Structure 1
Amino acid sequence: MKAIVQDRYGSPDVLEFRAVDTPVADDDEVLVEVHAASVNAADWHIMRGDPYIARLTGSGVGGLRAPASKIRGCDFAGRVAATGRNVTGFEPGDEVFGDLGPRGGTFAEFVAVPAGQVAHKPSNLTFEQAAAVPLAANTALIGLRDDAKVQAGQRVLINGASGGVGTFAVQLAKSYGAEVTAVCSTRNAALVRDLGADHVVDYTREDFTRNGRRYDVLFDLVGNHSLGAFRRALTPEGVFLLSGGGTSEGGSLVGPMGLFVKAQLMARFVRQRLVTVVEVPSSANLVALRELIEAGEITPVIDRIYPLGEAAEAIRYVEREHARAKVVVTV
Structure 2
Amino acid sequence: AALGGIQPSHLGRIVWLHDWSSAWVGFEMDGSVVVRTGVPDVGGGQASSLCQIAAEVLGVDLERVSIHIADSALTPLAGTTTATRQLYMSGNAVLKAAETLRQQILGVAASMLGDDAAALELAEGAARAPDGRAVLLPELLAQCARQGVPRSYLGVYHAPAGEPVDLERGSGKVFPDYTFGAHAVEVEVDTETGAVRVLKHVAAHDVGRAINPQSVEGQIQGGAVMGLGYGLMEEVILEEGVNLTTSFAAYLIPSALDVPDVEPLVLESGEGLGPFGARGIGEPPIGPPAAAVANAIYDAVGVRVGRLPITPERLWQAMQAEKGAEETRAG
Instruction: Give TM-score scaled by structure 2 length.
Output: 0.19
Of structures 1 and 2, the larger Rg is shown by 2
Instruction: Give TM-score scaled by structure 1 length.
Output: 0.19
Tell me which of the two structures has the higher relative contact order, counting C-alpha pairs closer than 8 angstroms and 6 or more residues apart. 1
Between Structure 1 and Structure 2, the one with more strand by share is 1
